[in-house]
A = this chain, B = another copy of it.
């Protein structure tokens, strides 16, 4: 039979029967006889080669991690040099290999340093995390053993490790036993699955009139997730937040009434437990009440704030989170894990299952019961990495208490930094810390409101120029504000002291500049 286009018959090689050594036709094989390996392939290093490669990499990693406190908080400060480096960094696919030392030298000496040092203690920007050392060992092990945890049948005890991690997360926030969830690459895909699950449970297939409620402080990945899930732009109603940047429960109730009267289909409420802008925690108890009364799926994006539930202060601030229907927690944020670790937990695990079950003949038998449900049956992925090990290993090695203490330290640090800033003349605290972000700006006496954005922009540049800390800005109440977000386990009091010193020094410089500028104008 002609097999046009099939690989086997289409080339110069064709079928190669007899090219290899003969096989004893029909003889019963001795199953105890080990297969003699015919490796030696370049992709299969021998023991000495493996050890040498590990040594070379280990040396670089240890040096890098040990020097994090003395590395600049950001190294991408020279746009022209970066442009030039980027041009030469475009390369064609290599046909042959280079030696490891050359490749590591490029990576560690040239490429890595030109970056926001997201791993370092001075990174007080966006939402840090740091990346605990042992999680990286977990990643190395997971990729080396390369087992598949998407179904229990394939690697039952490893799947259980990942299931344990998810169960711990459910326990941390006070979810019931019925909860199920899975690890994602981050908050964006976790929010996506939360929306998809809510859509299926609340609306079914005709969902284009569905409405999702959230505050205007909600992370934009919720908008993106809604768009991916097929919702039109009008589906997400971003309600203006209150003076503390929180969603008002009564606003949600009123909007639901209005939309129902207009024939639309309110079905989901997204609360934030730690916004990216200002760390605001929406009033979860009140919102849970509204969701209940108005029959909305209650989803909490606690990607940033969620793991503070490990602490006493966090638990109090997050009260009501346990009443949600679904929940996003990002271990790469408040559990200090490396990038690439988010999670979605759904209170009623069966809902997650209904949103993801599709059968195929080539698949192994699935776990029928929700008792040990296969991850591929409750998540959008089939083949994917063994993420759980990256979290399990550090938690096993250090215990939850180490993380709790580190989180408490962050709460102390932001409280202290806020009071120091408040004591500073001309500093306005725009957003008080609700988790570990404070947002503030400089309001020099007599300055025009119209100038403030530019002045604070320059102030921020002067703070960061010192490269001991890296801060970023956002807009709150239509003003340019500077944020301090302390969330790396590597950030301690010494670094916050440096941050405050650098802020004060930069303020001095700005004041000098302003008065000399004023002087020169007069």
Contacts and interface: CB of A to CB of B under 8 A. Distances in A.
A39 B488 CA distance: 12
B121 A35 contact: yes
Given A111-B157, A339-B385, A412-B16, A5 B281 contact: yes
Nearest to A274: B7
A115 B154 CA distance: 5
B44 A489 contact: yes
Interface stretch (A184-192, A290-298, A442-450): A184-192
A263 interface: no
Contacts of A98: 396-397
Contacts of A387: 340
Contacts of A224: 356, 358, 380
A317 interface: yes
B380 A192 contact: yes
B395 A94 contact: yes
Given A11-B316, A94-B400, A118-B147, 15 more contacts: A5-B283, A8-B411, A19-B416, A21-B497, A25-B504, A27-B504, A35-B468, A35-B494, A38-B492, A41-B402, A50-B133, A93-B168, A112-B145, A127-B383, A186-B384
A172 interface: yes
A126 B44 CA distance: 22
B139 A142 contact: yes
Given A93-B168, A146-B119, A385-B340, A69 B35 contact: yes
Interface residues of A, number: 241
Interface stretch (A82-90, A345-353, A514-522): A82-90
Contact of A144 (B3, B64, B394, B411): B64
Contacts of A196: 228
Contacts of A35: 69-70, 121-122, 468, 494-495, 497-498
Contacts of A384: 185-186, 188, 339-340
Contact of A146 (B36, B131, B364): B131
B160 A90 contact: yes
Contacts of A143: 131, 135-136, 138-140, 338-340, 390
Nearest to A136: B143
A254 B339 CA distance: 47
Contacts of A31: 465-468, 502, 505
A8 B65 contact: no
A98 B42 CA distance: 38
The listed residue with most B CB atoms (<10 A of its CB), out of A171, A225, A497, is A497
A262 interface: no
A382 interface: yes
A323 interface: no
A356 to B, nearest CB: 7
Contacts of A145: 61, 64, 108, 112, 119
A439 to B, nearest CB: 10
Interface in A67-121: 69-70, 76, 82, 85-86, 89-100, 103, 107-108, 110-112, 114-119, 121
A358 B218 CA distance: 13
